[in-house]
Every structure is written in structure tokens, then in C-alpha cells.
Amino acid sequence: MAVGQALSETTTIVLSGVANDLPTKLDHGIRFRVAGDSQDTVVRYPGTPVHKEVLRLRPPLRGDSWVALVGPGSNNHHTAGVLQFEGRNLVPQRFAIDFVRAYDDGQLVHGGPEDVHNYRCYGAEVFAVADARVIFVRDDIPDNPGQAKANALPDTLANLGGNRVVLDLGGGKFASYMHLQPQSIRVKVGENVRVGDVLAFVGNSGAPTPHLHFQMNDGPGPMISEGLPYVFDSFVRDGKEVADQIPLNGWVVGFKSATQQR
């Protein structure tokens, strides 16, 4: 390093707020102190617009007792997973959810946890959340056993997420489904799907335990684009129907079929 050359650092602050009523804009104030300084520095960002045109989707699953894990409303590797790509700080999984399914006693697995068939969510059908075009399919990654310490294939960007489907919903909006069962994907690249079409089955490819990872992004690459907010048109929580919301971390919800919604 040349004498006098300064080191630079970048700090990213990810805020996750939950509210029913939102203003049209927000004023942000950040107070911090750099090591060695005697006083705080205050940075203000007034008038940040609040965008309320959130994407409305049908749920990607059906049935009761689905648990939203590692989801919005908490600090976790999805909501705070900042990645740098081409000079941008991205949070690709900002609104991602890992869906698992509980048995009637609240347990996620009955029997030995190494057998993926003992998890209630394993093999559940996965559905298109909107009318869309299939732009990516990966279907050849073996399932891991339950509680696996390592993945069946090396942890590369190409293998990240296991077997997966990416849908182009149009308008710069893309839906990704990950950790699907090998050889279970029913759609092909270039195919148009309708909302409610079966895409694949929940598996355990590229994951330690079976679950469906679902997320929305502003680009076709789910790990090199920004995560997008969305709501599901309807789900049931605590026996009550909820409309136009996203399940928050830890919520147990049920998703009705199109027939049940009528």
C-alpha cells in the first residue's frame, strides 16, 4: 500500500419494519461514530418514497399447517443477506420464505430425521403463483438425506438452491422455487404456465432438511438481483382468512385451493 493511501469501508444497514398503515414517504436518520472520532456523525435521508404497488400472487402451496421460516419480520440470513454484484449492494433473498409443514402435533418430522419421507412437507405439490413463462429449470441434483451436513454436489453458484424453477412474470418480476425433488419438475424452459399449474414437488436438493424456498426478484438470477416484496391474495391464520399479506417469520398458515376460494 502506498504511503497515505486511505482504506475505505462500506456498511450496509438493512431495516425490516412491519406496519398495517404506511405513510407516503419516510424520513431516515442514521447516527454513528467512526472509531477514533470524538463525536457522532448524523446522516439524514428525508422524503424516501414508499411504494405501495406490491405484487399480488397466489400462494405456491396448498393445504394447512405450513410454517413460514427464515422469513420477513425477523433478522436472518434471508432478510439481511447482503451481496455485492457489479457495484451494487443487493439483498436477493430479502423477502424469501422457507416453507415447511407441521403434523397435527406441531412436529415437522415423524420418525428418523435422516429419511426425507418422514417430513410432512416432502413431496407436496408446488404451484405457479401467477401466469408466467418458464425461463430456467434444474432437475438433476440428488436429494440430500435429512439433517445433511454437506450437499450432494459442490456448493457452487450453479448448484445453489438445488433443483429449481424460475418464472418470468413480466415487468421485471421473477419468481424462484428452490430445493425441489429431482426429476419432479413438470415444466420446460420456454413453456407458458397458468396460475395454479403444478410445477414440481417439494424436495431436499441443496438443503439440510426438506422445504420449499420461495422468493421474488427484479432479475432472472435469484442470487444476483434484488429481492422484491409481494403478498399472497389469501391465506388462513389462526382460523381467520387473511387477504393481501405476506406471512411473517414463524407464522403457521393454510393455503386454500382455487376451488375452496370460490
**DSSP for 13-28?**
-------SS--SEEEE
Average pLDDT estimate for 131-140:
97
Question: pLDDT band at residue 73, thresholds of 50, 70 and 90?
Answer: confident
Number of neighbouring beta carbons within 10 Å of residue 85: 14
Torsion angle (degrees, nearest 10) of CA 184, 188, 192, 198: 0
- Residue-averaged pLDDT of the chain: 90
How far apart, in whole angstroms, are the C-alpha atoms of residue 217 and residue 73?
A: 18
Residue 213 is placed in which grid cell? 424456498
Residue 1 has pLDDT above 50, yes or no: no
Whole-number pLDDT of residue 17:
66
Report which listed range, 89-98, 130-139, 218-227, 248-257, is most confident.
130-139
Whole-number pLDDT of residue 112:
96
Residue 3 has pLDDT above 70, yes or no: no
Average pLDDT estimate for 191-212:
97
Residue 7 has pLDDT above 90, yes or no: no
Whole-number pLDDT of residue 18:
64
Residue 111 has pLDDT above 50, yes or no: yes
**Percentage of residues in the chain with pLDDT exceeding 70?**
91
Average pLDDT estimate for 85-109:
91
- Looking at 30-39, 96-105, 194-203, 242-251, which range is the least confident one? 30-39
Residue 19 has pLDDT above 80, yes or no: no
* 119 within 8 A of 109, measured Cβ to Cβ: yes
How far apart, in whole angstroms, are the C-alpha atoms of residue 98 and residue 178?
A: 9
Q: 55-261 belongs to which CATH class? A: mainly beta
- Looking at 5-9, 117-121, 184-188, 237-241, which range is the least confident one? 5-9
Whole-number pLDDT of residue 232:
97
How far apart, in whole angstroms, are the C-alpha atoms of residue 23 and residue 25?
A: 5
pTM listed for this prediction? 0.87
